[in-house]
Amino acid sequence: MTEEPFDLESLDEELPPGHKSGFVAVVGRPNVGKSTLMNAYLGEKVAIVSPKPQTTRLRQLGILTREDAQVIFVDTPGIHRPLHKLGEFMVETAIDALRDADLVLWLVDVSTAPTDEDRQIADILRSEAPDTPVLIAMNKVDLVAPDRLAVNSAAYRELLPDADWIAISATRGDGRDELLSMIIERLPEGPRYYPPDQLSDTALRDIVAEVIREKALFHLRQEVPHSIAVVVEEFKRRSDDMTYISATVYVERDSQKRIVIGRDGAMLRKIGQSARAEIEAIVGTRVYLELWVKVLKNWRKDEAALRRLGYRMPKRRKRKKR
Q: What is the pLDDT of residues 81-130, one digit of tens each?
A: 655 577 676 777 777 778 889 999 999 999 999 999 999 999 989 988 89
Distance CA 176, CA 139 (A): 10
C-alpha to C-alpha distance for 18 and 107, rounded to whole angstroms: 27
User: Among 40-54, 73-87, 232-246, whose mean pLDDT is lowest?
Assistant: 40-54
Sign (positive/negative) of CA torsion 294, 217, 84, 74? positive
pLDDT at 244 over 80: yes
- Looking at residues 146-160, what average pLDDT do you find? 96
Question: Does the structure show a pLDDT above 70 at 10?
Answer: no
Confidence check: pLDDT of 314 > 90: no
Q: Are 94 and 77 in contact (CB under 8 A)?
A: yes
pLDDT at 213: 87
Q: What is the pLDDT of residue 52?
A: 46
Q: Are 233 and 247 in contact (CB under 8 A)?
A: yes
Q: What is the mean pLDDT of residues 158-183?
A: 97
5 pLDDT above the threshold of 50? no
Q: Are 110 and 89 in contact (CB under 8 A)?
A: no
DSSP state of 15: S
pLDDT, the chain, mean = 85
User: According to the model, what pLDDT value does residue 279 have?
Assistant: 93
Report the distance separating Cα 254 and Cα 238, nearest Å. Answer: 34
Give the pLDDT band of residue 206 (cuts 50, 70, 90).
Answer: confident
What CA–CA distances, in Å, run from 79 to 64, 91, 138, 199? Answer: 24, 5, 16, 24
pTM of the model: 0.71
Mean pLDDT along residues 193-216: 87
